Amino acid sequence: MAQFQEVLKQSSLHPKPAGLVLQYGTAGFRTNAKQLDHVMFRMGLLATLRSKKTKATIGVMVTASHNPEEDNGVKLIDPMGEMVTPAWEGYATQLANAEQEDMLTALKDIIEKETINMSQEANVFVGRDTRCSSLSLSQAVLDGVTAVGGHSKDYGLVTTPQLHYMVCCQNTEGKYGEATVEGYYNKLSQAFIRLAKNAPNCTDDQKHLCVDGANGIGALKVREMESLLKTELQISIFNDGTKGKLNYQCGADFVKVQQKPPTGILMNTGERCCSFDGDADRIVYYYVDSEEQFHLLDGDKIATLISTFLKELLTQAGLDLKIAVVQTAYANGSSTDYLENTMKVIVRCTKTGVKHLHHAAQEFDIGVYFEANGHGTVLFSKAAEQKIQQLANDPNTDDERKRAALLLQNTVNIINQTVGDAISDMLLIEAILAIKGMTVQQWDAIYTDLPNRQLKVKVLDRRVIDTTDAERRALSPPGLQEAIDTLVKKYRKARSFVRPSGTEDVVRVYTEAETQESADALAHEVSLAVY
């Protein structure tokens, strides 16, 4: 067919280096940008097939998130704005790894397996982060879409969650919102202003926030939105990309892993600050106290704040909706203990990676999910949204219940339910703190984190480590879990697990214990056991 001739011709302009093997991992393909041109072109092809198959718009985001500037990556977004299904992750790996002369066969294989009607229309949304390599790589994606007869829309520079949002808006015919960046800003800022109006006593000091944009796309996008928020929130943006290097000694991942402030930010004692990661799908908060002590409020603290707020509103509204918090093995033990025993909410633990948390959160009326690293959001079931809306619109609802229902309704609107979103999470957190009249110190004091440590260990083959129980226990290699158990017993309140990274060629080690010294010592000992 002429169509396939065109694919072949175009594909030769995006040749695959022979022998290169890459894997569609937890967050798509991710490696040095120089190795990705053929992958991008082929993901353009695959997204078009996925679009034909689902008869819906599919998203392709070019980013390597918190990884170094030199890296890049690509991720497919399914029709409701969620991660692409596992079978298609497999196709992505096959198609990316087919040698140049086998590429067409690999493509035809997928068409056949999925019985794709090639005359079906296809539509693909493409977005990219601020990396130097992203422009040409996103062009390669667009070339792939065109080569196989798809339509594309290039959103240019957007955050990852913005592109997820656009895909969802497009496929729900505007019910979720308008599929434009302006539509996104308007929906979120309106909900934020409405929420903030419930905090009339908020002082100017409390309305100020420092944002570390990781020298990435988040800084750009907050700047575009700033004027819509400024009556209720004044933002000082640091690391906005004009001077520093992307993710270099700044950003949410740096702050979380190093447990220290990013460079490039001016922080006054006690001031509320937050950091985004390179594609703005993660956020963590922090402050420095009068003793120069750094305090981190990570994804666990965020989940606690949000779920407490929602649970209180549900009680005030008299709504019987089941709320749960979904975490991973990295969740600080103190947070799990507080959520289960003090707040009495259901807590679930899943494997690392957004798709696992997202999936688990969908099982509840309201599912709050956060990874400790700051990636998370809230999902509301359709039924929950309807009940909230009914109550908010019911003329017979008394004032207190109505206020709670309206707050819930605006929370539904402020949150990006497709994926974790630093901007949307930031606005919700800011609104909650304002409404509750809570300082960052009071939020921090809800519970005290157990001291913890994360390390990475280079090994020959990380795949020899196999885990179970949501990555909390190692099944293989034999003896490893027993060794960890023995080490953990030496320390008070200790816990540790190891897991192969899904994004880097390393094994990750996590420990927590009663003191930082113990957590550090245990981390060191467990690392040695991994070798």
Q: How far apart are CA 221 and CA 488, in angstroms?
A: 44
Choice among 11, 51, 65, 424 that is catalytic: 65
Establish whether 277 is an annotated binding residue.
Answer: yes
Contacts of 490 (CB under 8 A, 6+ apart): 522
Q: How far apart are CA 50 and CA 29, in angstroms?
A: 17
Residues 47-106 binding ligand 16G (CB under 6 A) are 65
Task: Extract the runs of DSSP E, i.e. beta strands, from 305-374.
Answer: 323-328, 346-350, 366-370
| Complex with ligand 16G: residue 191 or 530, whichever CB lies closer | 530
Q: Which two tokens stand for residue 108?
A: 């035809």
What is the pairing mode between strands 273-276 and 208-212? parallel
- Distance in Å, CB of 327 to ligand 16G, minimum: 12
Establish whether 223 is an annotated binding residue.
Answer: no
- Interior CA angle at 494 toward 493 and 497, to 5°? 150
Q: Of the ranges 51-59, 275-283, 443-451, 472-480, which one interacts with Zn ion (CB under 5 A)?
A: 275-283
Is residue 496 part of the annotated active site? The answer reads: no
Residues 311-370 binding ligand 16G (CB under 6 A) are 352-354
Task: Determine the size of the site formed for Zn ion (CB under 5 A).
Answer: 4
- Distance in Å, CB of 66 to Zn ion, minimum: 6
Task: Determine the size of the site formed for ligand 16G (CB under 6 A).
Answer: 14
| Complex with Zn ion: residue 139 or 373, whichever CB lies closer | 373
Q: Which two tokens stand for residue 11?
A: 């594909």
406 SS3 class: helix
Is residue 298 involved in binding Zn ion (CB under 5 A)?
no
**What crossing angle do the helices spanning 37-54 and 134-147 adopt, rounded to 10°?**
50
Q: Contact, 46 vs 110, CB < 8 A?
A: yes
Contacts 24+ apart (CB under 8 A), 286-294: 286/255, 286/261, 287/440, 287/441, 287/444, 288/261, 289/441, 294/259, 294/260, 294/261
| Complex with ligand 16G: residue 127 or 353, whichever CB lies closer | 353
14 SS3 class: coil
Peptide bond connecting 262 to the previous residue in cis, omega within 30 degrees of 0: no
Task: Answer with the entry of ligand 16G, Zn ion, none that 42 interacts with (C-beta below 5 to 8 A by kind).
Answer: none
Binding mask 65-104 for Zn ion (x = CB under 5 A): x---------------------------------------
| Complex with Zn ion: residue 65 or 411, whichever CB lies closer | 65
| Complex with ligand 16G: residue 455 or 522, whichever CB lies closer | 455
Task: Answer with the entry of ligand 16G, Zn ion, none that 143 interacts with (C-beta below 5 to 8 A by kind).
Answer: none
| Complex with Zn ion: residue 212 or 281, whichever CB lies closer | 281
Within 10 Å of residue 180's Cβ, how many Cβ atoms? 14
Is residue 371 involved in binding ligand 16G (CB under 6 A)?
yes
Taking CB under 5 A as the criterion, the residue among 89, 129, 277, 525 binding Zn ion is 277
Exposed, middle or buried, 239 (CB in 10 Å: 0-12/13-18/19+)?
A: buried
Residues 446-505 binding ligand 16G (CB under 6 A) are 501-504
Is residue 421 involved in binding Zn ion (CB under 5 A)?
no
Torsion, CA 365, CA 58, CA 33, CA 128, rounded to 10: -80
| Complex with ligand 16G: residue 65 or 170, whichever CB lies closer | 65
Q: Which two tokens stand for residue 132?
A: 């130097």
Taking CB under 6 A as the criterion, the residue among 11, 31, 170, 373 binding ligand 16G is 373
- Distance in Å, CB of 261 to Zn ion, minimum: 19
- Distance in Å, CB of 454 to ligand 16G, minimum: 9
Taking CB under 6 A as the criterion, the residue among 508, 510, 522, 523 binding ligand 16G is 508
Q: How far apart are CA 428 and CA 413, in angstroms?
A: 10
Establish whether 320 is an annotated binding residue.
Answer: no
Establish whether 279 is an annotated binding residue.
Answer: yes
Alpha carbon of residue 172 to chain centroid = 22
Q: Which two tokens stand for residue 163?
A: 């592109």
Establish whether 82 is an annotated binding residue.
Answer: no
128 SS3 class: strand
Binding mask 7-46 for ligand 16G (x = CB under 6 A): -------------------xx-------------------
Taking CB under 6 A as the criterion, the residue among 52, 128, 301, 375 binding ligand 16G is 375
Q: How far apart are CA 177 and CA 157, in angstroms?
A: 19
Establish whether 65 is an annotated binding residue.
Answer: yes
Establish whether 503 is an annotated binding residue.
Answer: yes
- Distance in Å, CB of 68 to Zn ion, minimum: 13
DSSP β-bridge partners for residue 327: 349
* Nearest residue to Zn ion on Cβ basis: 65
| Complex with Zn ion: residue 150 or 420, whichever CB lies closer | 420
Q: Contact, 32 vs 129, CB < 8 A?
A: no
Task: Answer with the entry of Zn ion, ligand 16G, none that 123 interacts with (C-beta below 5 to 8 A by kind).
Answer: none
Nearest to 96 by CA among 189, 197, 22: 22
Establish whether 371 is an annotated binding residue.
Answer: yes
Q: Contact, 210 vs 225, CB < 8 A?
A: no
Residue tagged 């630093």 (tokens): 422
- Residue ranges in contact with Zn ion by CB under 5 A: 65, 277, 279, 281
- Residue ranges in contact with ligand 16G by CB under 6 A: 26-27, 65, 352-354, 371, 373, 375, 501-504, 508
Active site amino acids: 65
Q: Can you say which residues are annotated as belonging to the binding site for Mg(2+)?
A: 65, 277, 279, 281
Q: Can you say which residues are annotated as belonging to the binding site?
A: 65, 277, 279, 281, 371-373, 499-503, 508
